[in-house]
Chain A
Amino acid sequence: MSVATKELLENLNALAAGLFLLTAFGIVAMRQARGCLNLFIAQSLLLAASAALLGLRYHSGHLYGVALVNLISKPIIVPWLLRRTSPAEIYTRREIDQVLNIPAALLIALALAIGAYFVGTPLANAVGPEFRGPNVPIGIAVLLLGAFTLTVRREALSLLIGLLVMENGAFLAGISIARDLGMLVELAIATDGLIIVFIMGVLVRAVQKQAGTTAVGELASLKETATMPAADEGPL
Chain B
Amino acid sequence: MIARILFNLLQVAVVMIAAPLAAGVLARLKEMVQSKRGPSIFQPYRDLWKLFHKDEIVSEDSSWIFRFTPYIVFVAPILVALLIPVLTSYPLFFAFMADMLGVGFVLALAGFFAALAAVDTANPYGPIGASRTRMVGFLAEPVFMIVFFTVSFVAGSTIPYIVQQRWVTPFANFFAPSHVLLVLAFLMLILAEGGRIPVDNPTGHFELAMIDESKSLEYSGRGFALVKWGGQMKFFVLLCVFSNVLVTPWGLASEQTFAAVLLAIPAVLLKVFCFLLVLVVIESSLSKLRLFRIAEFLGAAFITAVAAMVSQVFLS
Contacts and interface: CB of A to CB of B under 8 A. Distances in A.
A109 B170 CA distance: 33
A110 B306 contact: yes
Interface string B173-186: 11111101100100
A110 B315 contact: no
- Could you tell me the dominant secondary structure of chain B's interface residues? helix
Contacts of A7: 170, 172
Contact of B310 (A8, A103, A117): A117
Interface stretch (B44-52, B272-280, B292-300): B292-300
Given A117-B314, A137-B314, A18 B181 contact: yes
Interface string B46-77: 00000000000000000000000000000000
Contacts of B175: 8, 11-12, 14-15
B260 interface: no
A7 B315 CA distance: 13
Contacts of B131: none
A102 interface: yes
Interface residues on A, range: 20 to 34
A4 B172 contact: yes
Interface stretch (A21-29, A68-76, A225-233): A21-29
A137 B307 CA distance: 12
Contacts of A137: 314
A128 to B, nearest CB: 16
Contacts of A21: 307, 311
A67 interface: no
A134 interface: yes
Interface string A1-39: 000100110111011011101100110010000000000
A6 to B, nearest CB: 9
Nearest to A18: B177
Given A113-B307, A114-B310, A121-B314, A14 B177 contact: yes
Contact of A103 (B180, B295, B308): B295
B304 interface: yes
B300 A11 contact: no
B96 interface: no
Contact of B300 (A8, A12, A106, A113): A106
Interface in A193-227: none
A133 interface: yes
A102 B173 CA distance: 33
Interface in A95-136: 102-103, 106-107, 109-110, 113-114, 117, 121, 133-134
Nearest to A6: B172
A107 B307 CA distance: 12
A8 B171 contact: yes
Nearest to B306: A110
B307 A25 contact: yes
B303 A11 contact: no
7 contacts: A4-B171, A7-B172, A11-B172, A14-B175, A26-B300, A29-B300, A106-B303
Given A4-B170, A8-B175, A107-B299, 12 more contacts: A7-B170, A11-B174, A11-B175, A15-B180, A17-B177, A18-B311, A22-B181, A26-B300, A103-B299, A114-B310, A117-B314, A121-B315
Q: Nearest 4 A-B pairs (CB), nearest first? A: A18-B177, A8-B172, A7-B172, A11-B175
Interface of A: 4, 7-8, 10-12, 14-15, 17-19, 21-22, 25-26, 29, 102-103, 106-107, 109-110, 113-114, 117, 121, 133-134, 137
